[in-house]
Amino acid sequence: MPDNSADVLVVGGGPGGLYVAERLAAAGVRTIVCEEHAIVGDPVHCTGILAAESFEQFDLPRDAILNTLTAARFVSPSGITVRHETSTPLAAVIDRPAFDRSLARRALAAGAEIRTGARVSALDFERSCVHAMVGGTRLRARLAILACGANYAFQRRLGLGLPKLYLQTAQRELPAERLADVELHFGRRLAPRGFAWAVPVARADGVCVRIGIMAERDALAGYMRMVDHMRGRLGIASTDVTPRLKILPLGAIERTVGDRVMAIGDAAGLVKPTTGGGIYYAVLSAALAADVAAGPHHRDRLDAATLSAYERAWRAQLDDEFRAQHALRDVASRLTDEGIDRLFELAQTDGIMPIVRSTARFNRHRDLVWALFRHPPARRVLFRSVFG
């Protein structure tokens, strides 16, 4: 019979949950990951783009890289185009199922246990332990780490708070005939308070494109318009273009720790406010959580006050970043389509692209945001939407 006790129970087997499990198991912490789906990495939950430097920073599996990205085209509502290109790869497109399964193999090799088809339906916290209901089985642990993605039932019940904002997303990988640059399309009609994208994917058996959208509303309709727009240009012949729909949280929950509980990644609302990217922040928060949990674990000091070292750590690295990104989102989301076009016209003529080239970083947007806010022409366009 399986041992239904562990030092740490990780709820969710995505990148964050698997990474924290590997780190904890390698430190000698008995760790069980419960993943509700039958297969790790399935279904696919994101577009699967990671900054190139992330692989070295966290020693992430490179065998899941499909192709790299060096250029992106930004397209305004009226079709004004701005292109940004780098001399070295800015990001990598990954095979998400392969990426997750590589992380799972590492966690298993480190000594963690992974249970699939194992949905955690309840968590009960006592003074000395956590009891979890997994199917009809009761599992006991000293600490629970929530890595369950954009599902906030446990956070709500525990009083940890909820993300401040939610957007809708729709996306799908489709066979194509031609590769092209990454494209990002903006406009209220297409993607209110968000944008749509097309990402080239080079697989061994052929070319594909990942088309998606994040929007305040009507994500499915916007996604279908984006598919129609890209169909002829990329040679998308498929008639089955039904996307996967998902809710995207933007904004950290109020508290990411409690007595014997921590939340990481999407489960903590740690998602890039500008683009909705989550893998990097999931892995970063997993690494910080593992550092804290592996320390007091041996003394069983797992109260909220002790675990708050994790929250202080991620806030020290990300609070300023999130503040800048939310500031840009708040201003940009009020732009009319005409205002977006004016910003693109500036990018073509008035020195914005040199700012982008000197300050833009894939995972860190703070320097770019404040530079744009200090640029007089860009500031006039952006803040006209706020002050009229």
Q: What is the pLDDT of residues 148-191, one digit of tens each?
A: 988 899 999 999 999 988 999 999 999 999 999 999 999 999 99
Look at residues 1, 3, 9, 5 and name the one whose alpha carbon lies nearest to residue 33.
Answer: 9
43 upstream amide cis, omega within 30 of 0: yes
Confidence (pLDDT) at 323: 93
Contact 122, 80 (CB under 8 A): no
Residue 1's pLDDT is what? Answer: 43
pLDDT tens-digit series, residues 323-352: 999 999 999 888 999 999 999 998 888 778
Say how far apart CA 29 and CA 6 lie, in whole Å. Answer: 8
Domain 165-248 has CATH 3.30.9.10: yes
Residue 66 scores a pLDDT above 90 = yes
Domain ranges of the chain: 5-66+95-164+253-318, 165-248, 325-387
pTM of the entire structure? 0.93
Distance CA 294, CA 180 (A): 45
Residue 91 has pLDDT above 50, yes or no: yes
Whether 363 shows a pLDDT value over 90: the answer reads no
Percent over 70 (pLDDT), the chain? 97
Sheet containing strand 206-215, strands side by side: 81-85, 71-75, 182-185, 195-203, 206-215, 165-175, 244-250
pLDDT mean across residues, the chain? 92
Q: Are strands 31-35 and 113-116 parallel, antiparallel or unpaired?
A: parallel
In 10 A of CB 87, how many CB atoms? 6
Whether the CB-CB separation of 35 and 115 falls below 8 Å is answered with: yes
d(CA 100, CA 119): 18
> How far is residue 110's CA from residue 106's CA, in Å, rounded to a whole number?
6
What pLDDT, in 10s, does the model give residues 6-54? 999 999 999 999 999 999 999 999 999 999 999 999 988 788 999 999 9
Q: Which pLDDT band, with edges at 50, 70 and 90, does 209 fall under?
A: very high
The listed CATH number (3.50.50.60, 3.40.640.10, 3.30.450.40, 2.60.40.10) that belongs to domain 5-66+95-164+253-318: 3.50.50.60
pLDDT tens for each residue of 279-314? 999 999 999 999 999 986 666 789 999 999 999 999
